[in-house]
Structure 1
């Protein structure tokens, strides 16, 4: 243990100068207080989109390798609700899925690309195929909203950037969002619950006391500073980003979390307006204070839970029984075993799962 303590001390000795340098740079930047909304002009509608999959919703369809993706917005509109067969090759999955999903085909037509540009070209992309499809479907829902009047504040669940989409697809996506937002007068932002960059900067901000007053405020993060403190594997992402990063506290209170907020790069002059609208949407939000309520509502609509999960699992077993009763029986046993283990094994805190 003593050796580990010395090793940690040496590592911190090398890391601390970078944190101190970042703190000094942040100290030169000043936060901007978010202006309170007024009734002088009617505020645009705020619509958020969220995508979830069965794993996130604790929907277990084992041992059959299918997964469900649902995309919904804060108004309760369901854009996609589809099962994906994961045992197929990526080309077969895309061919099967796009033929069965005309809305995604229209989305690709808007972008002017064919589905084969989405085929994974690396082991990393192949291992994250489901996540890429989920992201693609969420972008498709957001672009559909962007194609329609009246003016809205469109909120993505996550920043306006992508690790998984191919460059060609992301650049076309940015072009279409630019055209649609300018045509219809929309604002486009991305809000995340967390970010490695923001986590690192938050420590430096704590030292610099930039947000010490607890008032709703925001601070733009210069691109060069973001690149400097970003994890190494994400420093290339500049070509796959369509927003400028900000740190924002969207409600009053020192305990309200600092959130990463991306504002569309072509709408930077409207940042004060965007922050006022986000602040209005985050006041008295529940259950997460200072988090835009439309995102909370969209997540509730996209999330599978309770009775829905029971029905979907039972539907799977019924269809398995129609094909092969013995397989259905074994699948039921595996589900019961999984639930028993989840109830009996301790969680990370050492207490039995509830």
Structure 2
């Protein structure tokens, strides 16, 4: 469950991502604008034959998210939030790396702690799937899933290293 503060933080992070990616939306609009002159109206016509066709409506929906915004949030079953960030596939890796290592946001601490433990100062060293964005080249959105999995592992790593399990175990004896 998200409280008001978490929603406000997510909104702020999403707005920042969208501001950074506004160039992509402008490029899409420019690309589609060319088609404006080629649009033709479908005119009703009379028909003399009928064809029965079956179709499965299924679960149809239209989803338009030109920014491909991803909310990365790790929460346990007691609704304790361990990690929260908002990224897009075009998030600059340099900025993400800096946010993790230099930021004061406690929600990014587990990733920072894991990287420090491993002696890594660059997120691209954690996986070959996470690479710096090359200008003019398409960005693969698959790195976001890898980042999400790394965040989950970092959170588990942080919990295992910091939680006092022995105190609870001794109490049960």
Shorter-normalised TM-score: what interval?
0.3 to 0.5
TM-score when scaled to structure 1?
0.22
Looking at secondary structure, tell me which structure has more strand per residue.
1
TM-score when scaled to structure 2?
0.42
